[in-house]
Structure 1
Amino acid sequence: MIGFSYYARVSSLSPRFYQSLLDKCWRRSGTLMYRPDQRRSCCPHYTIRLDSSQFNPSRAQRQTINRFNKYVIGDSYAKEAARLHPKSRDQAKKRDNHFDLVERVHEAEDDQLLKPPEAAHKLEVTLEHDDFTEEKFAVYENYQRVVHKDDPAEITRSGFKGFLCNSPLRRETMIGSDGRERRLGSYHHCYRLDGKLVAIGVLDLLPECVSSVYFLYDESIHKHAPGKLGALFEIALAIEEGYGWWYPGFYIHSCPKMRYKIDYSPQFILDPVALRWDPLDRKVLDLLDKKPFVSMAEEIQAGSAATARASEEANRDSKISDVPEESESPPNGSDEDDDEDDEDDEDDEDNIWLFNSQMPGITPLSSIVALDMDRIHLKITPNGPLYKTSDLVSWEEQDVKQWPGLRAGVAELVATIGPELMDQICLDFVPHKR
């Protein structure tokens, strides 16, 4: 564990396994997996998700889609199409009184328009493999330079490839409960206007969600609120293809730039302690306004404990005797000694044993000690056979509590992913290019 997160590098990842990790506060950046320690961090990262089937777009969100569609088709097309392809009274009434998100996001796409006439602009939205192309890099370069104000010298093709292309997620397909086939893996949701690639939504398509990794766009469409458009298109994808949930990435309550994520509702927040989903409602937001770390499980527990204490005090017959006041001086040494201890603690924070960190939601050491970790697979050579941890000469000689050490390191990983996933991992010791 380094700083306020636990890190792991992956070379191959199944979509179903990654779905399980998302629901345990994990997230990926390229091939780097990380699980934040919300309790110790000054800016805790919370996992949130939207139930796409219950999503009700706000007036502002509906206007964003409608204005963009109007820009794409143009007034001339709208008038001529109404004359050549008139809607029935029922069709017109339905459109005026009911906002269907899936229908509306596709409304201005070129392959959905009735022709003739021709629209003012040609909009094409496609789901493509997350491969590198110069066309995609041009959008990335413009976005990082114009929106994020990055130094042009630091915007590189290798950085783009490592961050947003060639994901470790394996591409697969699955049959959903509705009988439809769904794509799984990492994809680029590409938006082209008049043949030019103007925006890319980097997505992880998982068994139960559309996970938004990154959204980037060209400065030429800034006036159309591309961030909002991208979110609405992704939610529509979750509805249309049956993924169910939309994960907009980590939410940091103290970061104003992330407040837009909670504009889409109903949302749920993952309790970092209990690893269960709670409604992201006014009660939770008010708590986050007061303190950085919030766990509804701990709030409930604290409330129950306070009630129990109040009841105990009310029923207490004996009086509490006075006790001497504690000395204000440190019991052992001076204030200078405390300062030295603080400095040591800061140094230790850079690399501490996970089980000493009080990270919420991990499997406790007492449970890890009882696990049989001897059969975890190991990959030693690129094309050789798989081994097991018990095949290592030093494995039996080490104790889980001997940190730093291999067994202690494996114990950390198992604690963060959960014992139920232990038999699904393979520790890769083969050097990989980054």
Structure 2
Amino acid sequence: MNSNYKFGVTQSFQCNYLDDQYERLLIAVDPILHDSEHYSWLMHQGFRRSGNDIYRPHCLSCQACQSLRVLVANFTPSKSQKRLLKRSQSFVVKLSDNVKSSYYPLYEKYINEVHTDGSMFPASPEQFRSFTENDVTEQIYIEIWHGEELISVAVTDDIPNALSAVYTFYHPAYRKYGLGVLSILKQIDISHQLSRDFLYLGYQINDCEKMNYKNRYKPHQILIENQWNTVNK
């Protein structure tokens, strides 16, 4: 990493994912890093963004967060993923390059019915804008429709050589269709259509139920000690 770039380190605070741990973040504070090309380079180093903040776990005694990216060209859906795709054949996928007025009501319903026990409850427009607006990179919005009804939106960063999953929200009445999984499968498919090498899924945390699902998309790579290691099975 270029020593001329400016980074900051936060104080340690209670981990949001593991109750017995404290987390600390390395923050890319240099303005030159806040564009799509530099962000792509930073993601290769294990960084993510939240709004305009670009960060990477920098914890003193824990390495549980592992950056994970799917190898798009070689991806093969599992048997359960194939069944899910077959079950959802009546749905239609559309792409948008801007936030539509129909998104927030769907997001609000999702948070206020599915995640009442989470830190994002209750939903608010400010919170919604925190991941749909940024000055770092372009975004695409992967919509899933059932007839005339919008049932899911996957907010996705569009960076050189890759897409990066940011946040997905969906209609609670369609939970049985596994729209979270379906959205990732569609992100992989669109990454392939756009000739991107990777789909970044964020951090895999094996001991956290909410964060241990990302390694089900194979083959993928996990960043361990600054080396990307491929997992095929």
**TM-score normalised by structure 2 residue count:** 0.82
CA contact (8 A) 2:218 2:232 kept: no
What residue number does 2:96 align with?
A: 128
Distance 1:62 1:5, change over 3 A: same
| 2:111–2:122 CA contact under 8 A, matched in 1 | no
Provide, for residues 349-395 of structure 1, a one-character-per-residue CA deviation record: whole Å limited to 9, x for no partner: xxxxxxxxxxxxxxxxxxxxxxxxxxxxxxxxxxxxxxxxxxxxxxx
Deviation at 1:169, TM superposition (A): 2.7
The structure-2 alpha-carbon separation of the partners of 1:9 and 1:155, relative to structure 1 and needing over 3 Å to count, comes to: farther
Measured after TM superposition, the shift of residue 279 of structure 1 is 2.2
Deviations 1:257-304 (A, max 9, x none): 222211111111112x3x22112478xxxxxxxxxxxxxxxxxxxxxx
Aligned position for 2:3: none
Rounded to whole Å, the distance in 2 between the matches of 1:148 and 1:62 is 27
* Contact residue 10 and residue 32 of structure 1 kept, 8 A: no
CA contact (8 A) 1:55 1:266 kept: yes
- Correspondence 1:277 to 2:228: yes
**Aligned partners of 1:191 and 1:198 also within 8 Å:** yes
Aligned equivalent of 2:194? 241
The answer as to whether partners of 2:52 and 2:134 remain within 8 angstroms in 1 is yes
Cα pair 1:38 1:45 within 8 Å, conserved: no
- Structure 1 residues 200-244: Cα deviation after superposition (integer angstroms, max 9, x where no partner): 101011111111111111112111110111111011111111011
**Contact 1:38–1:44 (CA under 8 A) maintained in structure 2:** no
Deviation at 1:45, TM superposition (A): 1.5
Distance 1:268 1:207 in 2: 18
Q: Which residue identity is paired with 1:190? A: E
Corresponding residue for residue 151 of structure 2? 198
Q: C-alpha separation between the residues in 2 aligned to 1:22 and 1:9? A: 15
Equivalent position of 2:127 in the other structure: 159
Aligned to 1:144: 111
**1:39 deviation in Å?**
4.8
Percent of counterpart pairs with the same letter? 24
Instruction: Give the secondary-structure state (helix, strand or coil) at the position aligned to 1:40.
Output: coil
Alignment of 1:35 with 2:56, yes or no, is yes
Aligned mate of 1:67, from 87, 99, 118: 87
Letter of the 2:228 counterpart: W
Q: Distance in 2 between matches of 1:213 and 1:206?
A: 12
SS of the counterpart of 2:88? helix
Q: Is the contact between residue 203 and residue 212 of structure 1 (CA under 8 Å) also seen in structure 2?
A: yes
Offset at residue 130 of structure 1 (A): 4.1
Structure 1 runs (4+) greater than 6 angstroms displaced: none
Partners of 1:37 and 1:27 in 2: how far apart?
Answer: 12
Q: Which residue of 2 aligns with 1:15?
A: 36
Aligned to 2:212: 259
Report the structure, 1 or 2, having the larger strand content.
Answer: 2
> RMSD value over aligned CA atoms?
2.3
Q: How far, CA to CA, are the matches of 1:9 and 1:128 in structure 2?
A: 30
Q: Please name the residue that 1:58 is paired with.
A: 78
Going by fraction, where is helix more abundant, 1 or 2? 1
Choose which of 3, 6, 26 in structure 2 pairs with 1:6. 26
1:171-217 C-alpha deviation (Å, 9 max, x unpaired): xxxxxxxxxxxxxx212112222222211101011111111111111
Cα distance in 2 for residues equivalent to 1:229 and 1:128: 18
Amino acid at match of 1:23: H
CA pair 9-147 structure 1, distance change in 2 beyond 3 A: farther
Q: Determine the C-alpha separation between the residues in 2 that align with 1:224 and 1:258.
A: 20
Distance 2:132 2:43 in 1: 19
Q: CA deviation at 1:149?
A: 1.0
Structure ranking higher on relative contact order (CA contacts 8 Å, 6+ apart): 2
- Unpaired segments of 5 or more residues in structure 2? 1-8, 13-23
**Offset of residue 141 of structure 1:** 0.7
- SS of equivalent to 1:213: strand
Structure 1 window deviating more from structure 2 (60-69 vs 187-196): it is 187-196
Could you tell me whether the CA contact under 8 Å between 2:112 and 2:121 is conserved in 1? no
Per the normalisation by structure 1, the TM-score is: 0.45
Aligned equivalents of 2:142, 2:205: Cα separation in 1: 25
Contact 1:10/1:168, CA 8 A, preserved across alignment: no
Structure 1 unaligned runs (5+)?
73-122, 171-184, 283-434
